[in-house]
Amino acid sequence: MIRVVLPLQLCNLANVSREVELQVEVPATISTVLDALEVSYPALRGTIRDQVILQRRPFIRFFACGEDLSLDPPTNPLPEEVASGKEPLRVVGAMAGG
Amino acid sequence: MSKVRVLVGTRKGAFVLTSDARREGWEISGPHFAGWEIYHLKGSPVNPDRLYASQTSGWFGQVIQRSNDGGKTWEPVGNKFVYEGSPGTHQWYDGSQRPWEFKRVWKLEPSLVEPETVYAGVEDAALFRSSDGGQTWQELAGLRSVKGNLWAPGAGGMCLHTIIQDTDNPKRFYTAISAAGAFRTDDGGQTWQAVNRGLKSDYELADPDAEVGHCVHSIAMHPSRPDVLFMQKHWDVMRTDDAGESWHEISGNLPTDFGYTIAVHSHEPETIYIVPIKSDSEHFPPDGMLRVYRSRTGGNDWEALTKGLPQSNCYVNVFRSAMAVDTLDPCGVYFGTTGGQVYGSTDSGDSWAPIVRDFPPVLSVEVQTLS
C-alpha cells in the first residue's frame, strides 16, 4: 500500500483527508501512483499533472524520504520506504508569490 | 415572492448572496472553494438551480464545479480543455508568434435553450462547448480560424471573456476577446466572422481600423433587442444597431471612456451602465470618486450616479464581468470591486448600498432573479 500526502487544496477538492492510501502495482513509480490516484479520485485529474502529456504542473513538487524527486523521470521506481508504505510520497504546492 | 441570488467570484473563493425581492437583508454563503480564484459563476436560464463555477489556481490548474441545488452543494465535472487539431500560434506582445496554450476559463455561459449545454471562454482565447453538463468539452475551432495568428494578449492575458447568445436566434452568438475584438457566428459556432468595423484603436494597433486585434473589454445586450449591442472597449464606449456589422462611439460626455464593465437595464433597452476608470495605466476611478455612469438614451448623454458610493479616496477597480442586473421592478443593479465590496441598487442606480464590504477582490458578479 502506497501512502500519498496531498496539499490541503487538493484534499478539499477530492474530499479526502490529508493522507490517502493506494494499491499500486510494483514497481511503484510517480507515474503509476498518479495513475492510481486519479482513478480513485477523478477530481484530481489535471491538478497535479497535465491530462494529455502527463507532465508535472510547474508549481507541483514531489518529495519522499527527505529527497526532492520532482526532477527525476516519473517512471523511476520510488524508494523502497515509499513502496513498502513506511514513508509517504508527498505532493507539495511549491512556495511562490508573496 | 421573488428572490434574488447574486453569484460572486473572487480571488479567494465563491460566494452566494440571497435576498427576497425587497433586497434589503442578505444571506451570505461561502467562501466556496476557499483559497482558489473563481473567475466566473453563472446559473442556467433553463434550470436556475444548475450553476457552474470556474475554479482556478496557478498551482493546481483549472477545475469546473457544478451545482444542482442553487449553490448549496457542488461537484467537480470535466476540466479537460484540449484545442482541436494542431493549436497553431498567435501573436505575442513583441510581435513574435507563440503557440496556443490553455491557461484558465474566464467565462461560463449556460445555453438559453438547452439545459445540459454550457459554453466556456478560455485563455488562450478559444470557445469550448459541453453538451453533457460540463463533463466533456469540445472546442468550436472555427473561431480561431478568423485570423487567430494576429490575436495578441491584453495586459490580463489573451482571454475570451464575453459569450452572448441571441435570444431570438439561438444559433447566433457573439464573443469578445482581449485583444482580438468581437466575433459572431450565425450557425451555432461552426463558422465565425469578425465584427469590428467602426472600432478604432489608435496607438494600440499599427492599423487603428484593423479587422482583428482590438482590445474589447466587455459587451452587453438587452434580450428584447438582440441586434443592439453595447461595448466597453479598452478606450471608447461603442454601440452597434446591426448585430455588429458597424459600430459607432457613444462616449459622449463621460469623464473618461476607459473601463471594463457594461450592463443594460433589464426593462429599458436604452438605459446602460458603465464604471469609468481613469486610464489604462491608472486602474481606478477618476479623482478617487467611485461613480457609475448611466445613459438613458442609449449612449452619449451620461449622468453620474454617486448616492451611496464613496466620493473620496476610493481607488478600486471594477472588472469586466463584475456588474449585472436583476429583472425585478425597479431594476436592481449590482457590481463588485477589487476592494472586496459588492454594491447593490434597488432603484435602477439612483442610490447604492454595500451588500458586503470586505470580500477578497471581486472578479465577477452575476444575478439570478428567482420566482
**DSSP string covering B304-331, please?**
EE-TTS--SS------TB-EEE--SSSP
Alpha-carbon distance values, B18 to B44, B340, B341 (Å): 17, 17, 16
Report whether B201 contacts B213 (CB < 8 A).
yes
pLDDT for residue A57 is more than 70: yes
Residue B204 has what pLDDT?
83
pLDDT for B238-268, tens place per residue?
A: 999 999 999 999 999 999 999 999 999 999 9
Whether residue A98 is predicted with pLDDT greater than 70 in this model: the reply is no
pLDDT per position as a tens digit, B125-173: 999 999 999 999 999 999 999 999 999 998 889 999 999 999 999 999 9
Nearest to B76 among A8, A43, A59 (CB): A43
Q: Residue B111: is its pLDDT beyond 70? A: yes
* Grid coordinates of B182: 468581437
In this prediction, residues B362-368 reach a mean pLDDT of 98
Q: Which residue on chain A is closest to B82 by alpha carbon?
A: A52
Tell me if B208 sits within 8 A of B189, measured CB to CB.
no
Name the residue with cell 479520485.
A41
Q: Which residues, in sequence order, are CB contacts of B80 under 8 Å at separation 6+?
A: A45, A46, A51, A52, B136, B137
Contact residues, B window 30-49, toward A, CB-based 8 Å cutoff: 33-36
Tell me the residue type at B349.
G
The sign of the CA dihedral B249, B254, B255, B259 is negative
Domain positions in chain A: 2-93
Instruction: Give, as one character, the DSSP assignment of residue B359.
Output: P
**B interface mutation test: which of A8, A12, A13, A49 has the most B CBs within 10 A?**
A13
**Is the pLDDT assigned to residue B280 strictly greater than 90?**
yes
Nearest to B260 by CA among B237, B288, B287, B241: B237
| Predicted ipTM beyond 0.90 | yes
B292-310: pLDDT as tens digits: 999 999 999 999 999 999 9
Q: Is B218 on the interface with A (CB under 8 A)?
A: no
Question: Is the bond into B124 cis (omega within 30 degrees of 0)?
Answer: yes
Indicate whether A97 pLDDT > 90. Answer: no
A2-93: CATH homologous superfamily?
Answer: Beta-grasp domain (3.10.20.30)
As a whole number, the mean pLDDT across chain A is 95
Which one of B60, B62, B82 has the shortest CB-CB distance to A9?
B60
Q: Do A51 and B34 touch (CB under 8 A)?
A: no
Residues of A contacting chain B (CB within 8 angstroms): 7-10, 12-13, 42-43, 45-48, 51-52, 57, 59-60, 93-94, 96-97
